[in-house]
Amino acid sequence: MELRDYQRAAVDAVWAYLREKDGNPCVCAPTGAGKSLLLAQLCRDAVERWHGRVILLAHVKELLEQTAEKIRALAPGLPLGIYSAGLRRRDVGYAVTVAGIQSAWKRAPELGPADLILIDEAHMVPAEDDGMYRRFIADMRVVCPHVRIVGLTATPYRLKTGEICGPENILTEICSEIGVRELIAQGYLSPLRTRAGVTKADTAGLRVRAGEFVAGEAEDLMDDDALVEGACAEIAEETRGRAATLIFAAGIRHGKHIQSVLRERHGLECGFVSGQTPAGERAEILGRFRSGELRYLANVNVLTTGFDAPHTDCVALVRPTMSPGLYYQMVGRGFRLAEGKTDCLVLDFGGNVLRHGPVDAVRVAAGDRGEGGEAPAKECPSCRALIAAGYRNCPECGHEFPPPERSRHEARASNEGILTGQVARAEHEVGGVSYHAHWKKHDPAAPMTMRVEYRVGLGSVVREWVCFDHDGYARAKAESWWRARSREPVPGSVEEAVELARAGALAPTLAITVEKKAGDKFDRVVRHTLGEKPARLDDPDACPASAPASGGFDIPDDEIPF
């Protein structure tokens, strides 16, 4: 079993971070990118290369089973134990222990010391100083003070507190991010088509509590007879010829109502599962759906993570949510590839795409309540496709949107192209920056460049190439780029530039302006908003401390990443 290039790059980024920094890194990878294989490779490296011990935590048994299976396939000889009441195993003393957090959170001493804790679905770790994950980690740090933590997630943020990484959080920084759009373009994820329902709920009157719509009010709104019947009629019509439709309902009563209407009005068998469904019945229903025997399956809050049915080619959101993470997890059920599957249709009856934006550029902000500001997406009035707000023509049907209204006189001269639509510009806040040495794939003789990747949204990355190894204008431009960001001398090569950048020599990039010209293959970064330049790296007060060494092995401490 071989890792794909982006998977190998993510694993390398984790080890580089653990070697070079004190914090705990996080890998952001979309549903379907192969997080289980990433976790398996990290386990294998930790044990076989550095003789370490690993505890891998997850919150549902399906994730534990998937990851254990991948570890066995990738490294059959690796000593592997499972610690989970749900799987009826309490193995201890193994080099790798795959553990359910509900079973392990009070039993860190029983599991024994660990050099590395891996957390699948790391957005489940709470921001506050309580909860099972934090209790387990705190206890493990008593057992093994040098333990390091690595998180993996598709949604690196929480509803109430924003991004999960930060200096005060358990996970401190995203070290690698794999883009949704990039994996779709490379053929690793299924393309998505998004359409608004003709019958839509008006959520303006719903109250918000703890950052989410009040559950009872949302279910009452969505369970209206006319809305359910209209949504079911559209689902039946739009899914003719599709293999598997996953429906997300606002509550148990609402989900059973959808099930009943599909069966009685449209002759379609639809399963239903919720947190109250008995385990045996739930397993039977999910098995029928995965096998293709059952084409429609409605659920309430149980099939958002840890559920894998690759042939799902339609996701119906018959519920609203204020949570960008939940929105992403629901839509992500359709990302995976399957034989005969050409795309996944997302039917949105709850205004979620308009509220949060396209799934590869979800709008995320701490405390964001989805009110005010420009909508991140819009609906085509002709075909009901939900598309990014910047489109002038609908990519589905060609409908031309009217130009935005402008005041009679602009306060300043426009920087747009002189012809409407000639140039499109957008400003993005930057959530993180990474630096890489880059070779042209099909031209090994070409000079190396430094690839700068700006994270501007969930799964969305904008790239810029800085040419330190070139001559003439390209080199002069690279020198100017460096001087604007650093007090260090301009590096003589790309390798030196990447090393210095990763060591903290560059000012943070707070925002970028991206220009897209019609006909150009790539976007272009035309403006940067920068923070303050850092102090010189030879300033002893500015040097980062080295990562703690694990010790006890016949390997030099500076080569052990945990």
3-state percent breakdown (helix, strand, coil) of the chain, nearest 5? 30, 20, 50
**Full residue range of the structural domain in which residue 511 is found:** 426-530
Model confidence, pTM: 0.63
| Residue 413 belongs to a domain | no
| Residue 219 belongs to a domain | yes
What is the distance between the alpha carbons of residues 458 and 329, in angstroms, rounded to a whole number?
A: 12
SS3 string, 206-228, reads: CCEECCEECHHHHHHHHCCHHHH
pLDDT of 555:
44
pLDDT of 553:
36
What is the distance between the alpha carbons of residues 198 and 193, in angstroms, rounded to a whole number?
A: 16
What is the distance between the alpha carbons of residues 468 and 151, in angstroms, rounded to a whole number?
A: 33
pLDDT of 413:
31
What is the distance between the alpha carbons of residues 62 and 550, in angstroms, rounded to a whole number?
A: 31
| Residue 558 belongs to a domain | no
| Residue 418 belongs to a domain | no
Which residues sit opposite 144 in a β-bridge? none
Q: Let me know whether 352 and 458 are in one domain.
A: no
Q: Let me know whether 215 and 90 are in one domain.
A: no
pLDDT of 439:
78
Distances (CA, A) of 227 to 162, 200, 350, 383, 558: 32, 7, 11, 20, 62
| Residue 415 belongs to a domain | no
Q: Largest Cα–Cα distance in the chain? A: 74
Residues of the chain with pLDDT under 50: 365-374, 406-422, 540-556
Q: Let me know whether 46 and 154 are in one domain.
A: yes
What is the distance between the alpha carbons of residues 562 and 555, in angstroms, rounded to a whole number?
A: 12
Burial class (CB in 10 A: 0-12, 13-18, 19+), 278: exposed
Q: Let me know whether 157 and 194 are in one domain.
A: no
Q: Let me know whether 199 and 136 are in one domain.
A: no
Q: Let me know whether 120 and 222 are in one domain.
A: no
pLDDT of 523:
76
In CATH, what number is assigned to the domain containing residue 285? 3.40.50.300
Q: Let me know whether 234 and 359 are in one domain.
A: yes
| Residue 562 belongs to a domain | no
How many Cα atoms occupy the beta-carbon half-sphere of 276 within 13 Å?
A: 7
